[in-house]
Structure 1
């Protein structure tokens, strides 16, 4: 019993008329009859009761009709899903990202992806910039958001979001949006920053901003994770400078003051393997291209 025989059988079972079934399936009636006879012979049962006027299913034919309908429906489903997966309209994409990206580009991007490709599943992993390149090369993720780019012949990237920095202060700090003028006002404060060896370009950028204001920050605590830095600031253990998108994080009691008098911005780029064969990736990138990640205040 094969797929073709089941299809012919279901054609006759639905019409209960050999001539009509043969016309619908574009097969000569004698050939259709032979297919049914071969199926009956193979199964050793009678599937149809026939006379000159009527054709009806036997009990065995009724059972086969019910079961065959399930099988054919499942095959149609498999065929449809196979096509979706081949076209990248169904599947999974694994995304690496820094903590701040969840407060800026990721929510609108995933919302748009769900709207256009509801069968695509996303797997998110928060990771450091220093871990992203290795994870991509090991095929542990398919795409990532990264702040510090490292030239690599196997990878390609594009900048998708630029945002200003903010001064992060405990709620009790004397400086606020009304009296803030420059970072020089916190030159005597303790700072909480990411360590230099984890993201040297990003770290050096923060130092350059401070140097322009005439001081080097007194770093008393270091952390790679934004949520940790925010919590330390909340507990009055120092101040920090971070991407302003962290303003939209959980309800931590700190003050965010945008640093407007500096030209530096922090970039967020998408990076992926040049030879990636995951068909979902092309749709992910296409959706990201369609969104307007405006400079600075995406979620404001």
Structure 2
């Protein structure tokens, strides 16, 4: 029993007429009759009761009609899905990102991905940057977003977003956008900042912003997670310096004072394996190239 025999059988079962079925199937009637007979012989059943005027399904034929319809529908579904996966239009993409990407590029990018490739599913994980490169090298993720891409002959990177920093203060803090003149105004405050890792350009940028104002921040708490920092600031445990995109859709009650007059900027890049031929990844990269990540 093969697919062609099932298709021929369903054609006859639908028409209950060999000549009409042969015409719709674009096959000669004798060849169609032979296929049905071979199917009956193989199954050792009678599928049709037929005489010179009428063709009727037997109970065995009615059962096979239902099952063959289901089988061929499933095969068609498998065929279509196989093509989608081959073209990178369906499947999972494992994405690693810092927390700040949720407030800047990720919502816009995933919305565009849904528009162009609605059957691609993003599997997201918030990963520290020092672990992200390890996850890429171990094939645990497919693409990552990093503030500080490192030179690696096995990885590609692409800058996709740049933004200024903001001073983040509690909601009842006396500083506002209107009376803020410079970071020197918070030199006596307690700071909550990300910890410094070896070679951390990001942390050095934050210190340089303060040093230019003549002080080093008094860091009383450290966290790698921006949402944690925001929550601590909300509870009057200190002030912080964070990428300005955190103010977009932030659920935390804090005040952001943009430092766009300062030269320092933080960048966000995508990184992925050079030898990765996954078509889903490349559709994702193409989508990212078409997106404008600016925000107001």
Q: Return the TM-score normalized by structure 2.
A: 0.95
CA shift for structure 1 position 98: 0.6
CA deviation map 1:191-211 (0-9, x unaligned): 211111167110011111222
Secondary structure of 2:120's counterpart equals strand
For 1:128, the equivalent position in structure 2 comes to 128
Counterpart for residue 190 of structure 1 = 190
Name 1:289's counterpart in structure 2: 289
Partner of 1:145: 145
Aligned residue number for residue 154 of structure 2: 154
Q: Is the 8 A contact 2:190 2:238 kept in 1?
A: yes
8 Å Cα contact 1:148-1:199 kept in structure 2: no
Does the Cα contact within 8 Å between 2:12 and 2:18 map onto a contact in 1?
yes
C-alpha distance in structure 2 between counterparts of 1:80 and 1:219, whole Å? 57
Superposition TM-score, scaled by structure 1 size: 0.94
Q: How does 1:156-175 map to 2 (within 5 A)?
A: 156-175=156-175
Shifted more, 209-218 versus 87-96: the winner is 209-218
- In the other structure, the counterpart of 1:101 is 101
* More divergent stretch after superposition (91-100 vs 227-236): 227-236
CA distance in structure 2 between the aligned counterparts of 1:85 and 1:17, rounded to whole angstroms = 39
Aligned-pair CA distance for 1:36: 0.8
User: Which residue number in structure 1 is paired with residue 33 of structure 2?
Assistant: 33
Shift of 1:214: 2.0
- Give the corresponding residue for 2:258: 258
Check whether the contact 1:171–1:234 (CA below 8 A) recurs between aligned residues: yes
Q: CA deviation at 1:189?
A: 1.7
Q: Is 1:80–2:80 an aligned residue pair?
A: yes
Q: How many residue pairs were aligned?
A: 296
1:16 aligns with 16
Q: For the residues of structure 2 that align with 1:198 and 1:239, how far apart are their CA atoms? A: 24
The residue aligned with 1:214 is: 214
The farther-off stretch of 217-226 and 129-138 is 217-226
- Contact 2:164–2:258, Cα closer than 8 Å, also in 1: yes
Is the Cα contact below 8 Å between 2:167 and 2:242 reproduced in 1?
yes
Q: Distance in 2 between matches of 1:223 and 1:198?
A: 16
Q: 1:128 to 1:199 in 2, by over 3 A?
A: farther
Contact 1:168 1:257 in 2 (8 A): yes
**Stretch deviating more after TM superposition (219-228 or 152-161):** 219-228
Deviation at 1:249, TM superposition (A): 4.8
User: Secondary structure of the equivalent of 1:196?
Assistant: coil
Structure 1: gaps (5+ residues) = none
Q: What does residue 59 of structure 2 align with?
A: 59
23-32 or 225-234, which deviates more: 23-32
**5-14 or 191-200, which moves further after superposition?**
191-200
Deviations 1:57-113 (A, max 9, x none): 222212211111111111111111111111111100011111111111111111111
CA distance in 1, matches of 2:190, 2:261: 21
**2:224 is equivalent to residue 229 of structure 1:** no
**Structure 2, unaligned stretches of length 5 or more?**
none
Aligned 8 A contact 1:165 1:243 in 2: yes
The answer (yes or no) to whether the contact 2:48–2:56 under 8 Å persists in 1 is yes
1:277 Cα deviation (Å)?
2.8
